Amino acid sequence: MPNLDGWRLIMEARAGGFIGKVIVFSALMDDHERQRYRYLEIDRFLEKPRNQASSCGL
């Protein structure tokens, strides 16, 4: 998403009154990113496999 990352999208949706469930699906989810999303009351984190081998179970 040019000019808008997932965190900013969710932040703006929450600021606009969105109270629905949010699931974050990301390959770049370190402890710092998890904390940023917790601030926005995310319901679930799902991590993408970081490479093709891990997605194939190798």
Residue 58: how many CB atoms within 10 A of its CB? 7
Full domain range(s) for residue 35: 6-49
Give a yes or no: residue 24 inside a domain. yes
Q: What DSSP letter does each residue of 1-58 carry, written as one string?
A: -TT--HHHHHHHHHHTT--S--EEEES---HHHHHHHHHTT-SEEEEPPSSHHHHTT-
pLDDT at 19: 93
pTM: 0.67
State pLDDT tens for residues 2-58.
788 888 999 999 999 999 999 988 888 888 888 888 888 899 988 887 655 555 554
Q: Residues with Cβ < 8 Å from 13, sequence gap 6 or more?
A: 22
Residue 57 lies in a domain: no
C-alpha span between 46 and 37 (Å, rounded): 12
Domain assignment present for residue 40? The answer is: yes
Q: How many domains does the chain have?
A: 1
Let me know if residue 27 belongs to a domain: yes
| Within a domain: 10 | yes
